[in-house]
Amino acid sequence: MKANWEDYQVYFWKKYLYLEEKVMDTEKFVTFCRSNRQTYSNAFEELLVVICTEIETVFKEWLQIDKGSIICFLKKLLNEISVEELNKIVIVKLCNIGLMPFNDLSYLVSVNMNKNDKLKGFDASKHLKWWKAYNNIKHNKLEYKEQANLENVLNALAALFILESLRIKNMDNADSNDAFDCPYKPSQLFDSNIETKRYIDSAGNSSIPDEEIKKILCD
């Protein structure tokens, strides 16, 4: 069963905000900057695995399937949204670094523009490096421990942010809250160019009346 707007905020977006807070906590020890991209740690390993597991959960809810590989998820998703929607720039507020976790996937789709299989030739090690890192660590931690680094964690979290933002934006029109096409509470780590009719900015300013939000959620 697909979640409505209210359920999605409670069971998915709140989990995203929790993971985001955990990632931001690591900045106390590893400064978010380009020179630290390859810094790896046990904390980053744990976060990468948990974030990518949540990405699988998001795919399953959105696509209403019980299992599948990342290529299966992506093929089904691209029947509902365009690769341009996925290929968003996400800015890390703490360091003003731009991330495009689906950029190489976008390139692959452009190569296969006139083919039936939009993802022909997909290779996670080339087109979703952060996802490949997750699988490598899951199956062979000792060999691939260095892939549990800041760069892969930030890209994985950015991918989760994009997917959940798009899921909320594309809620079924039959949903009684379909006008609420944004999360009830914004990301504290990322800015993006995902356009919505509604908004809630980092200062708490909202085009959704406070009383409407309070009816639905406890912050």
| 195-200 contacts at long range (C-beta below 8 A, 24 or more positions apart) | 196/169
| SS3 state at 90 | strand
| Nearest residue to 19 via CA among 41, 49, 59 | 49
pLDDT digits over 96-123, tens only?
Answer: 899 999 998 888 998 888 787 889 999 9
| SS3 state at 170 | coil
Beta bridge partners, 200, equal 206
pLDDT digits over 24-78, tens only?
Answer: 999 999 999 999 999 999 999 999 999 999 999 999 999 999 999 999 999 999 9
Largest CA distance in the chain: 52
- Say what the pLDDT of residue 6 is: 87
Q: At what angle do helices 150-169 and 14-25 cross, to 10 degrees?
A: 160
Start-to-end CA span in the chain (Å):
25
Distance CA 22, CA 40 (A): 15
pLDDT category, 211, cuts 50, 70, 90? Answer: low
- Angle among Cα 138, 153, 171 to the nearest 5 degrees reads 100
- Say what the pLDDT of residue 46 is: 98
> What does the chain come to in residues?
219
